[in-house]
Structure 1
Amino acid sequence: MSQAQYRVILTGTLASGADPAQAQANLAQLFKLPPDRAEALVNEAPVVIKKGLDEATARKYQAALHKAGWLSEVRLWEAAESTDTPPAAPPAPESPRAAGPAPLEASIAPPGSLLADPREVPPLQVDLSGITLAEPGATIGDPREIPPLRVDLSELSLAAPGARLDEDPTGR
């Protein structure tokens, strides 16, 4: 007789005291999923997370999910019985998504049409009473005199045309 195998099922219920947003982020991090896929996983619950596990490993998955903020169940996996006898009936789908995609009731909007209702944006209230406009060509700021820059270049020299600049001219 083979060892009993179990499956871990995410119920989609938050553990007591868990923050929904943090639990969602923890689930995404635990299974290395994008946040939108983790949200879809919870919305499709109950979902089989893992199957064909021994009881100790299944309990580890359950503990990890509880630590992430989610309740889960560990159930005996019936498909782990004998492989010698064919199944009497085809197995029922374990989740709604296993049955196949639902018919899509979508349409495509014509080009240039608005996809959302326009929002009413209140006019911006800006106080311009302290601002004046100068006439064209007027000097706006007071001109200031900038002193000339004095740079000492007496230590610098020019090499002869064609001289190698990577060699030390002093011979050191």
Structure 2
Amino acid sequence: MPSSDETFADVLAANETYAHDFRLAGLQARAARGLAVITCIDSRIEPLAMLGLGPGDAKILRNAGARVTDDVLRTLVLASYLLGVDRAMVIAHTRCRMAAGSEDDVHTAVAEAGGPDTRSLSFLVASDQEATVRADVQRVRSWPYLTRLRVGGFLYDVDSGRITRLC
């Protein structure tokens, strides 16, 4: 049921402008560059721009901490077999909140922000981002449904915009 409040008025107005000049009609669902990018939800990351890509070039998967979760693996299987993806980049980033403390720290921060008790959730924090990226890349490489997918691990510097290959 539509709501009459103004919660989303700004983005709906922007969408009207976007739709007026819409030029992506007819774009294929397949990843034109055969690429999937797994990265963090951090707003400082522009996945397409930082890799010189445009709409339709890649499949972008985002979650807190750029982690290879079961859902990411499931999505990569679909992208690999149905959407033209033959390579994937796992890209963590510097100054990530998911690398700045323990699980308990995140649960406490959520509670202090007025949130509920989240101790039944795992936020998959990673104190050693490089080791975590390497482990997540290995998880993709060893997944029996993704044997033909080439995958690499990277770290994006949110202060310089540069990406460093880790594995």
- Tell me the TM-score normalised to structure 1 length: 0.24
Asked which structure has the greater CA Rg, the reply is: 1
Higher helix share: 2
- Tell me the TM-score normalised to structure 2 length: 0.24
